[in-house]
Structure 1
Amino acid sequence: MTPTATALLAYASWFIILLLCLAFVRTSLVMAGKRASNSFAPSGDDMEGFAKRLTRAHANCYENMGLVAAVLLYAIATNQTALTDGLAYVFLGARIAQSAAHLIATNRLFVFIRFAFFVVQVLILIYWLLKLFHLI
Protein backbone atom coordinates (compact mmCIF):
# COMPACT_ATOMS: atom_id res chain seq x y z
CA MET A 1 0.00 0.00 0.00
CA THR A 2 1.35 3.42 -0.89
CA PRO A 3 1.75 6.19 1.69
CA THR A 4 -1.06 8.01 -0.13
CA ALA A 5 -3.47 5.09 0.31
CA THR A 6 -2.34 4.59 3.91
CA ALA A 7 -2.90 8.28 4.70
CA LEU A 8 -6.37 8.17 3.15
CA LEU A 9 -7.36 5.09 5.15
CA ALA A 10 -5.80 6.49 8.31
CA TYR A 11 -7.72 9.77 7.84
CA ALA A 12 -10.93 7.75 7.56
CA SER A 13 -9.90 5.73 10.62
CA TRP A 14 -9.23 8.89 12.63
CA PHE A 15 -12.66 10.19 11.59
CA ILE A 16 -14.25 6.94 12.81
CA ILE A 17 -12.32 7.08 16.11
CA LEU A 18 -13.66 10.59 16.73
CA LEU A 19 -17.16 9.42 15.77
CA LEU A 20 -17.00 6.49 18.20
CA CYS A 21 -15.77 8.78 20.99
CA LEU A 22 -18.61 11.18 20.27
CA ALA A 23 -21.11 8.31 20.26
CA PHE A 24 -19.72 7.11 23.60
CA VAL A 25 -20.05 10.57 25.18
CA ARG A 26 -23.59 11.06 23.91
CA THR A 27 -24.70 7.53 24.79
CA SER A 28 -23.30 7.97 28.29
CA LEU A 29 -25.31 11.15 28.76
CA VAL A 30 -28.47 9.48 27.49
CA MET A 31 -27.98 6.35 29.62
CA ALA A 32 -27.34 8.51 32.70
CA GLY A 33 -30.64 10.26 32.06
CA LYS A 34 -28.96 13.64 31.60
CA ARG A 35 -30.03 14.11 27.98
CA ALA A 36 -32.70 12.87 25.60
CA SER A 37 -31.32 10.98 22.63
CA ASN A 38 -32.87 13.43 20.19
CA SER A 39 -31.71 16.58 21.95
CA PHE A 40 -28.14 16.96 20.69
CA ALA A 41 -27.34 19.89 18.42
CA PRO A 42 -25.20 18.84 15.44
CA SER A 43 -22.91 21.82 16.03
CA GLY A 44 -22.14 20.79 19.60
CA ASP A 45 -23.18 24.22 20.86
CA ASP A 46 -25.43 22.59 23.43
CA MET A 47 -22.48 20.76 24.99
CA GLU A 48 -19.72 22.00 27.29
CA GLY A 49 -16.02 21.37 27.66
CA PHE A 50 -14.53 18.26 26.12
CA ALA A 51 -17.84 17.08 24.62
CA LYS A 52 -18.22 20.33 22.71
CA ARG A 53 -14.60 20.23 21.52
CA LEU A 54 -15.02 16.60 20.47
CA THR A 55 -18.15 17.44 18.48
CA ARG A 56 -16.32 20.24 16.68
CA ALA A 57 -13.18 18.14 16.04
CA HIS A 58 -15.38 15.42 14.53
CA ALA A 59 -17.24 17.97 12.40
CA ASN A 60 -13.97 19.48 11.23
CA CYS A 61 -12.88 16.07 9.96
CA TYR A 62 -15.97 15.56 7.83
CA GLU A 63 -15.92 19.17 6.61
CA ASN A 64 -12.53 18.47 5.02
CA MET A 65 -12.86 14.76 4.18
CA GLY A 66 -14.37 15.31 0.73
CA LEU A 67 -11.55 17.51 -0.50
CA VAL A 68 -8.84 15.28 0.96
CA ALA A 69 -10.45 12.13 -0.42
CA ALA A 70 -10.91 13.69 -3.87
CA VAL A 71 -7.26 14.67 -4.17
CA LEU A 72 -5.83 11.44 -2.79
CA LEU A 73 -8.25 9.21 -4.71
CA TYR A 74 -7.41 11.09 -7.90
CA ALA A 75 -3.71 10.45 -7.29
CA ILE A 76 -4.44 6.77 -6.69
CA ALA A 77 -6.81 6.41 -9.66
CA THR A 78 -4.40 8.06 -12.08
CA ASN A 79 -1.38 6.19 -10.74
CA GLN A 80 0.26 9.44 -9.61
CA THR A 81 0.82 8.63 -5.97
CA ALA A 82 4.51 9.37 -6.43
CA LEU A 83 3.40 13.02 -6.37
CA THR A 84 1.52 12.70 -3.08
CA ASP A 85 3.42 9.97 -1.24
CA GLY A 86 6.20 12.23 0.01
CA LEU A 87 3.90 14.42 2.09
CA ALA A 88 1.09 11.94 2.78
CA TYR A 89 2.22 11.17 6.34
CA VAL A 90 2.98 14.82 7.05
CA PHE A 91 -0.56 15.66 5.95
CA LEU A 92 -2.01 12.91 8.14
CA GLY A 93 0.07 14.01 11.11
CA ALA A 94 -1.11 17.60 10.69
CA ARG A 95 -4.73 16.39 10.55
CA ILE A 96 -4.42 14.37 13.75
CA ALA A 97 -2.45 17.13 15.49
CA GLN A 98 -5.14 19.66 14.55
CA SER A 99 -7.83 17.43 16.05
CA ALA A 100 -5.73 16.77 19.15
CA ALA A 101 -5.21 20.50 19.69
CA HIS A 102 -8.95 20.97 19.30
CA LEU A 103 -9.63 18.28 21.91
CA ILE A 104 -7.16 19.70 24.43
CA ALA A 105 -8.37 23.30 24.67
CA THR A 106 -9.88 26.28 22.90
CA ASN A 107 -7.80 29.04 24.46
CA ARG A 108 -5.92 31.42 22.16
CA LEU A 109 -2.73 29.35 22.13
CA PHE A 110 -4.51 26.15 21.10
CA VAL A 111 -6.62 27.94 18.51
CA PHE A 112 -3.37 29.24 17.01
CA ILE A 113 -1.82 25.75 17.12
CA ARG A 114 -4.92 24.24 15.54
CA PHE A 115 -4.90 26.88 12.82
CA ALA A 116 -1.19 26.28 12.13
CA PHE A 117 -1.83 22.57 11.56
CA PHE A 118 -4.80 23.45 9.35
CA VAL A 119 -2.60 25.76 7.26
CA VAL A 120 -0.07 22.93 6.82
CA GLN A 121 -2.85 20.74 5.42
CA VAL A 122 -4.12 23.43 3.06
CA LEU A 123 -0.63 24.18 1.77
CA ILE A 124 0.01 20.49 1.14
CA LEU A 125 -3.31 20.15 -0.69
CA ILE A 126 -2.49 23.16 -2.87
CA TYR A 127 0.97 21.72 -3.57
CA TRP A 128 -0.54 18.36 -4.51
CA LEU A 129 -3.09 19.99 -6.80
CA LEU A 130 -0.38 21.98 -8.54
CA LYS A 131 1.67 18.79 -8.96
CA LEU A 132 -1.32 16.77 -10.18
CA PHE A 133 -2.20 19.48 -12.70
CA HIS A 134 1.48 19.43 -13.73
CA LEU A 135 1.79 23.16 -13.05
CA ILE A 136 4.95 22.70 -11.02
Structure 2
Amino acid sequence: MNATILALGGYIFWLMVLLLSLAVIRTIESKKRSDKSLKFDPNGADLGNLGQRLTRAHLNTVESFPFVCGVMLLALATDSSAISNGLAFVVLGARIIQSSVHILSVSNNAITLRFVFFLIQFGIAGYWLCLIIYKFL
Protein backbone atom coordinates (compact mmCIF):
# COMPACT_ATOMS: atom_id res chain seq x y z
CA MET A 1 0.00 0.00 0.00
CA ASN A 2 1.29 3.44 -0.90
CA ALA A 3 -0.20 5.91 1.57
CA THR A 4 0.85 8.88 -0.57
CA ILE A 5 -1.17 7.63 -3.54
CA LEU A 6 -4.19 6.92 -1.34
CA ALA A 7 -3.99 10.29 0.42
CA LEU A 8 -3.57 12.11 -2.89
CA GLY A 9 -6.61 10.29 -4.25
CA GLY A 10 -8.47 11.09 -1.04
CA TYR A 11 -7.62 14.77 -1.35
CA ILE A 12 -8.90 14.83 -4.93
CA PHE A 13 -12.03 12.93 -3.88
CA TRP A 14 -12.65 15.43 -1.06
CA LEU A 15 -12.29 18.29 -3.53
CA MET A 16 -14.85 16.60 -5.78
CA VAL A 17 -17.26 16.10 -2.84
CA LEU A 18 -17.06 19.80 -1.99
CA LEU A 19 -17.58 20.79 -5.63
CA LEU A 20 -20.55 18.45 -6.04
CA SER A 21 -22.08 19.73 -2.79
CA LEU A 22 -21.70 23.27 -4.05
CA ALA A 23 -23.30 22.35 -7.38
CA VAL A 24 -26.26 20.76 -5.58
CA ILE A 25 -26.78 23.82 -3.37
CA ARG A 26 -26.51 26.14 -6.38
CA THR A 27 -29.04 24.05 -8.31
CA ILE A 28 -31.50 24.04 -5.42
CA GLU A 29 -31.12 27.79 -4.89
CA SER A 30 -31.54 28.57 -8.59
CA LYS A 31 -34.78 26.54 -8.67
CA LYS A 32 -36.12 28.55 -5.71
CA ARG A 33 -35.53 31.94 -7.36
CA SER A 34 -38.00 33.53 -9.69
CA ASP A 35 -35.03 34.81 -11.71
CA LYS A 36 -33.86 31.71 -13.58
CA SER A 37 -30.54 33.26 -14.57
CA LEU A 38 -27.54 30.96 -14.42
CA LYS A 39 -25.34 33.80 -13.16
CA PHE A 40 -23.96 33.46 -9.66
CA ASP A 41 -21.71 35.24 -7.22
CA PRO A 42 -18.32 33.46 -7.27
CA ASN A 43 -17.78 34.04 -3.54
CA GLY A 44 -21.06 32.31 -2.70
CA ALA A 45 -22.74 35.36 -1.16
CA ASP A 46 -25.89 34.58 -3.14
CA LEU A 47 -26.25 31.21 -1.37
CA GLY A 48 -26.66 32.33 2.22
CA ASN A 49 -24.31 31.56 5.08
CA LEU A 50 -23.93 27.82 4.52
CA GLY A 51 -23.41 28.20 0.80
CA GLN A 52 -20.87 30.94 1.28
CA ARG A 53 -18.92 28.86 3.82
CA LEU A 54 -19.05 25.85 1.49
CA THR A 55 -17.80 28.00 -1.39
CA ARG A 56 -14.88 29.22 0.70
CA ALA A 57 -14.09 25.70 1.96
CA HIS A 58 -14.00 24.47 -1.65
CA LEU A 59 -11.82 27.37 -2.82
CA ASN A 60 -9.52 26.97 0.17
CA THR A 61 -9.05 23.31 -0.74
CA VAL A 62 -8.23 24.33 -4.32
CA GLU A 63 -5.78 26.97 -3.07
CA SER A 64 -3.94 24.39 -0.94
CA PHE A 65 -3.81 21.78 -3.70
CA PRO A 66 -0.58 23.04 -5.36
CA PHE A 67 1.60 22.91 -2.28
CA VAL A 68 0.05 19.89 -0.56
CA CYS A 69 -0.60 17.65 -3.53
CA GLY A 70 2.29 19.09 -5.52
CA VAL A 71 4.73 17.77 -2.93
CA MET A 72 2.93 14.42 -2.88
CA LEU A 73 3.22 14.25 -6.67
CA LEU A 74 6.88 15.24 -6.43
CA ALA A 75 7.45 12.42 -3.95
CA LEU A 76 5.78 9.94 -6.29
CA ALA A 77 7.57 11.23 -9.39
CA THR A 78 10.99 10.99 -7.72
CA ASP A 79 10.37 7.61 -6.09
CA SER A 80 10.46 9.34 -2.72
CA SER A 81 7.07 8.35 -1.37
CA ALA A 82 8.79 6.66 1.56
CA ILE A 83 9.29 10.25 2.77
CA SER A 84 5.61 11.19 2.51
CA ASN A 85 3.89 7.88 3.32
CA GLY A 86 4.18 8.21 7.10
CA LEU A 87 2.24 11.48 7.35
CA ALA A 88 0.12 11.32 4.19
CA PHE A 89 -3.09 10.41 6.01
CA VAL A 90 -2.42 13.07 8.64
CA VAL A 91 -2.34 15.67 5.86
CA LEU A 92 -5.55 14.31 4.34
CA GLY A 93 -7.27 14.25 7.73
CA ALA A 94 -6.14 17.80 8.47
CA ARG A 95 -7.57 18.96 5.13
CA ILE A 96 -10.94 17.28 5.74
CA ILE A 97 -11.15 18.66 9.28
CA GLN A 98 -10.16 22.16 8.13
CA SER A 99 -12.84 22.14 5.42
CA SER A 100 -15.47 20.71 7.77
CA VAL A 101 -14.81 23.35 10.41
CA HIS A 102 -14.92 25.99 7.67
CA ILE A 103 -18.37 24.78 6.61
CA LEU A 104 -19.74 24.50 10.15
CA SER A 105 -18.70 27.80 11.71
CA VAL A 106 -17.02 31.18 11.32
CA SER A 107 -16.63 31.84 15.04
CA ASN A 108 -13.24 33.03 16.29
CA ASN A 109 -12.54 29.62 17.81
CA ALA A 110 -13.41 27.90 14.52
CA ILE A 111 -11.15 30.25 12.58
CA THR A 112 -8.30 29.50 14.99
CA LEU A 113 -8.94 25.76 14.68
CA ARG A 114 -8.98 26.00 10.88
CA PHE A 115 -5.65 27.80 10.98
CA VAL A 116 -4.15 25.07 13.16
CA PHE A 117 -5.19 22.42 10.65
CA PHE A 118 -3.87 24.57 7.80
CA LEU A 119 -0.51 24.85 9.59
CA ILE A 120 -0.38 21.08 10.00
CA GLN A 121 -0.73 20.64 6.24
CA PHE A 122 1.66 23.47 5.43
CA GLY A 123 4.26 22.29 7.92
CA ILE A 124 4.18 18.68 6.77
CA ALA A 125 4.34 19.67 3.09
CA GLY A 126 7.31 21.93 3.84
CA TYR A 127 9.00 19.16 5.81
CA TRP A 128 8.48 16.69 2.95
CA LEU A 129 9.80 19.18 0.42
CA CYS A 130 12.97 19.75 2.43
CA LEU A 131 13.56 16.01 2.77
CA ILE A 132 12.97 15.37 -0.94
CA ILE A 133 15.30 18.18 -1.97
CA TYR A 134 17.92 17.02 0.52
CA LYS A 135 17.70 13.50 -0.94
CA PHE A 136 18.86 14.84 -4.31
CA LEU A 137 21.61 17.20 -3.13
Tell me whether the two structures share a fold, i.e. TM-score over 0.5: yes
Paired with 2:46 and 2:31, the residues of 1 have a C-alpha distance of 18
Does the alignment pair 1:127 with 2:116?
A: no
SS in 1 for 2:41: coil
Higher alpha-carbon deviation: 118-127 or 43-52 = 43-52
Identity %: 40
Q: Which residue of 2 aligns with 1:69?
A: 69
Q: TM-score, normalised by structure 2?
A: 0.92
1:29–1:35 CA contact under 8 A, matched in 2: no
Structure 1, residues 85-132: CA drift from partner, whole Å, max 9, x if none?
000000000000000100110010100110110011110011001110
Paired with 2:69 and 2:36, the residues of 1 have a C-alpha distance of 34
1:25–1:51 CA contact under 8 A, matched in 2: yes
**For the structure 1 residues 38 and 118, does the alpha-carbon distance in structure 2 shift closer, same or farther, using more than 3 Å as the test?**
same
Q: Which runs of 5+ in 2 are unaligned?
A: none
- One-letter amino acid matched to 1:60: N
Count matched residues: 135
- One-letter amino acid matched to 1:40: F
Q: Which residue of 2 aligns with 1:88?
A: 88
Q: Which residue of 2 aligns with 1:3?
A: 3
**For the structure 1 residues 3 and 52, does the alpha-carbon distance in structure 2 shift closer, same or farther, using more than 3 Å as the test?**
same
Q: Which residue of 2 aligns with 1:25?
A: 25
Q: TM-score, normalised by structure 1?
A: 0.93
1:75–1:84 CA contact under 8 A, matched in 2: yes
SS in 2 for 1:79: coil
Paired with 1:97 and 1:32, the residues of 2 have a C-alpha distance of 31
Higher alpha-carbon deviation: 48-57 or 67-76 = 67-76
Shift of 1:40: 1.4
Q: Which residue of 2 aligns with 1:44?
A: 44
